[in-house]
Chain A
Amino acid sequence: MIHATLHAYVALSAALFAIGLLGVLIRRNTLVVFMCLELMLVASTLGLVAFSRFNGTDDGNVFVFFILTVAAAEVAVGLAIIVALFRKRQTIQVDELNTLKH
């Protein structure tokens, strides 16, 4: 059985991370930016799992556990902040949230 190489997995992880970063850079909707952040987190976990599998250890997999937990907490807090922001400003477009700029 021919397996994909470690290089392929890491390249895929990097590409996924780059797509997420691109989304964070070019999108205006705060919710979509947040989704792209989640995409970047998942990309990093893919790299961790691949390294862990190819090195025959379990440490990377355990770390993915922690990343999942932190991501869940982050989503809860982030979405609460976005909702609070929307209540205050009636918008979630990044361009209009510029209080700190002026």
Chain B
Amino acid sequence: MAQFLFNLFAAFTLVCALGVVVNKNAVNAAMCLLLALVGVAGLFVALNAYLLAFLLLLVYAGAVVALFLFIIMLLDTKGEQRPGLKHASLVARLFAAALVGAGLLSFFARSRLPEPALGPASAAVGAELKLYAYQLFTTYLLPVQVIGFLLLAAMLGVIVISKKLDAAEDAP
């Protein structure tokens, strides 16, 4: 059963991720991204990371994809025009794609990961939350502070970016 669910969610995620790449329409790409994130959240549940699955849906599906859709609608760009690819850039892209493909192939063909036995499933969901909180406020206290500072800096940065241009445009 668990294997079947893994296969299902893995296939779903991969198909939706490919949808993000191949979709011409940006709105459809955002929707595919949303579905791929739902698939990843399902995989998180299969890995017993319930809280992370919930957070992924909340932060990514709830906030990030909504923001993307908002910006796509705001900018209202027409579909991608396709001018002829320049030679050098075409070669570079093919080369990069070939490199990625070769890396993946060698990974699938030759990698040998050790297979650790699956540990016992974690306790109830509430206990897991407590564990996270304990770790965040003991072992990872400094990263939490740094992340808080990063969020503050990002907020200020966004305000400055949005404001400066307005002032420049308003100036005669």
Contacts and interface: CB of A to CB of B under 8 A. Distances in A.
B93 A53 contact: no
A87 B165 contact: yes
B143 A66 contact: yes
Interface residues of B, number: 78
Contacts of B37: 42
Contacts of B30: 35
Interface of A: 1-12, 14-16, 18-23, 25-29, 31-32, 34-36, 38-39, 42, 45-46, 49-50, 52-56, 58-59, 61-62, 64-66, 68-77, 79-84, 86-88, 91-93, 95
Interface of B: 1-3, 6-7, 10, 13-14, 17-18, 20-21, 23, 26, 29-30, 33, 36-37, 40, 43-44, 46-49, 51-52, 55-56, 59-60, 63-64, 67-68, 71-72, 74-75, 77, 80-81, 83, 93, 96-97, 100-101, 103-104, 107-108, 111, 113-116, 118-119, 131-132, 135-136, 139-140, 143, 147, 150-151, 154-155, 157-158, 161-162, 165, 169
21 contacts: A4-B7, A9-B43, A10-B111, A12-B14, A18-B104, A23-B20, A31-B75, A32-B29, A35-B30, A36-B21, A46-B40, A61-B51, A62-B139, A65-B132, A65-B136, A66-B143, A68-B60, A76-B67, A80-B158, A82-B71, A92-B75
